[in-house]
Amino acid sequence: MIFYICILVAAIAFLAYRYHKLMYHFRSVKAGKLYRSGTLGPVGLWVMHRIFRVNTIVNLRLENEYVKGGWYHRQKRYCERHGIRLVNIPMAQDTPPSEAQIGQMMDELDREGSRCLVHCEMGVIRTGMMVVAVATRRYGVRDQGVWQHFPLYGHKLDNRRQRVREFILRCSRATDASASMASSQ
């Protein structure tokens, strides 16, 4: 009996570990509307599409990253086969999004029936900045609440990421006008 319990515990631990790797840095930003993650493999894409009903994937990785490991080709092929809209908003690492990039992300969220997944390679810095920009403008998140949408997963906001830190802090101090605009939408 103890042997079977050990086997069961080991199997559950293995499945939990695999799920974590399949849904790399996955989080819900606004359930039913916006999700975030790192680059997902085929099973992670299936989960996002079939379970979370994502119909738009916003890729923040640069074009020169597309060849690394064949992930982009697989993601694009999956989207084409399943009728998922794939939108590329390339952002350089450790560089805050421009107003045009934020606007493009907001436009995708505004599309009728849109359910978006936004990702970069690891789902941390670029994805975090885009999510914070959207959460402060659209969902009224402010002050310390921005850090809930910017988990570092072991990364650091050190001196080389000063622009990232400044961007997040600027978003956290959104004006009352932008907060009321965000809450009205």
**How far is the first Cα of the chain from the last one, in angstroms, to the nearest whole number?**
57
pLDDT at 43: 87
pTM: 0.81
Note down pLDDT in tens along the chain; length 185 residues: 888 787 777 666 555 555 445 678 899 999 999 999 999 988 899 999 999 999 999 999 999 999 888 899 999 999 999 999 999 999 999 999 999 999 999 999 999 999 999 999 999 999 999 999 999 998 888 887 788 878 777 778 788 889 999 999 899 887 544 443 443 33
Strand partners, 118: 36, 58
Closest CA relative to residue 27, chosen from 145, 124, 168 = 124
* Contact partners, residue 77, CB within 8 Å, separation at least 6: none
pLDDT at 144: 79
